[in-house]
């Protein structure tokens, strides 16, 4: 803000400023102070900690998530050393999570874990962090960075707090993230197979068998290995993969497909014509 000062209808420049009476200088100072206070926004109003926290919880229960997050942050800002502030940090992260503001939630949760490592709610903080990544998992055709981060966070929870009430669900979600990662590699392997890049396909399917043994994609990966080896004319390896498939998944449709490919004949019973049932 530029202030121009006139004296006797003349604009005073710097050399003349020294001649201005003290009263005028004080008036200018008050004017500047008023202008700066107007630009500062709403005044800071100190409130009792329980009232701020209650306001935040009421907003959260009503679904006013943005306001709730601000109020929880206000608890920490006004009363940083209170026991309420510790809980408010976690609740602010939860409000961000509910708003799908996952980055803000993760930052708040990391801060909570770092500042309060022995707090009883730390297992929940790890769990909520894992969920914040988990809910950002995209389809197998896209980058799987969030899947890997979700798995890492959930594994940390299970490793640190195996007996917590969140560990069971975390283990289930870990299996789902593994299955998702295996699905991504299966999509890549199928692409290589379709493009007749058999060695690249074999490496990808072997990785699935070795790394994701508990997932639903292993039977298909073994069958695709049979396909790739037969395409390369390596019949012995194809038979070996078919044997592994038959031993571990004897009732699988993938095993029947592989057995038919290796034996070069059909083992499925032929369906009876429709008129046989009349």
> How do residues 60-73 score in pLDDT, each as one tens digit?
888 888 988 888 88
- The pLDDT of residue 56 is 86
36 or 249: whose pLDDT is higher?
249
pLDDT over threshold 80, residue 110: yes
- The average confidence (pLDDT) of the chain is 82
- Residues recorded for the chain: 278
Q: What is the pLDDT of residues 193-244, one digit of tens each?
A: 999 999 999 999 999 999 999 999 999 999 999 999 999 999 999 999 999 9
Alpha helices by DSSP H, listed for the chain, are: 14-17, 22-39, 49-62, 65-78, 83-98, 102-115, 122-134, 145-160, 167-194, 198-211, 218-232, 235-248, 253-263
Across 142-165, average pLDDT? 93
Q: Model pTM greater than 0.75? A: no
Distance CA 110, CA 96 (A): 13
What per-residue confidence (pLDDT) applies to 19?
A: 45
* Domain residue spans of the chain: 6-38, 217-278
Distance CA 218, CA 208 (A): 7
pLDDT tens digits for range 127-142? 999 999 999 988 777 7
Check pLDDT > 50 for residue 18. Answer: no
Say how far apart CA 55 and CA 84 lie, in whole Å: 13
- In 3D, which of 78, 73, 72, 76 has the Cα closest to residue 48? 78
């Amino acid at each position: 803000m530029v202030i121009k000062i006139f004296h006797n209808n003349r604009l005073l420049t710097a050399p003349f400023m020294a001649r201005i009476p003290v009263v005028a200088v004080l008036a200018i100072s008050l004017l500047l102070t008023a202008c700066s206070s107007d630009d500062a926004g709403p005044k800071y109003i100190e409130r009792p900690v329980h009232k701020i926290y209650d306001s935040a919880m009421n907003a959260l229960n009503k679904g006013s998530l943005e306001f709730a997050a601000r109020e929880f942050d206000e608890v920490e800002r006004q009363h940083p050393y209170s026991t309420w502030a510790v809980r408010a940090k976690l609740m602010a992260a939860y409000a961000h999570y509910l708003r799908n503001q996952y980055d803000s939630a993760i930052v708040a949760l990391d801060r909570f874990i770092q500042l309060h490592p022995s707090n009883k709610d730390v297992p929940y903080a790890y769990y909520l962090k894992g969920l914040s990544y988990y809910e950002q998992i995209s389809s197998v055709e896209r980058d799987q960075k969030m899947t890997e981060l979700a798995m890492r966070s959930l594994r940390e929870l299970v490793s640190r707090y195996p007996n917590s009430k969140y560990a069971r669900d975390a283990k289930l979600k870990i299996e789902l993230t593994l299955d998702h990662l295996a699905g991504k590699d299966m999509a890549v392997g199928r692409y290589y197979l379709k493009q007749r890049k058999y060695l690249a396909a074999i490496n990808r399917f072997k990785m699935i068998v070795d790394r994701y043994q508990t997932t639903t994609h292993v039977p298909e990966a073994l069958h695709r290995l049979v396909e790739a080896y037969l395409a390369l004319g390596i019949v012995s390896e194809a038979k070996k993969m078919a044997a592994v498939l038959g031993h571990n998944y004897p009732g699988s449709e993938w095993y029947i497909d592989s057995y038919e490919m290796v034996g070069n004949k059909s083992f499925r019973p032929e369906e009876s014509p429709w008129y046989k049932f009349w």
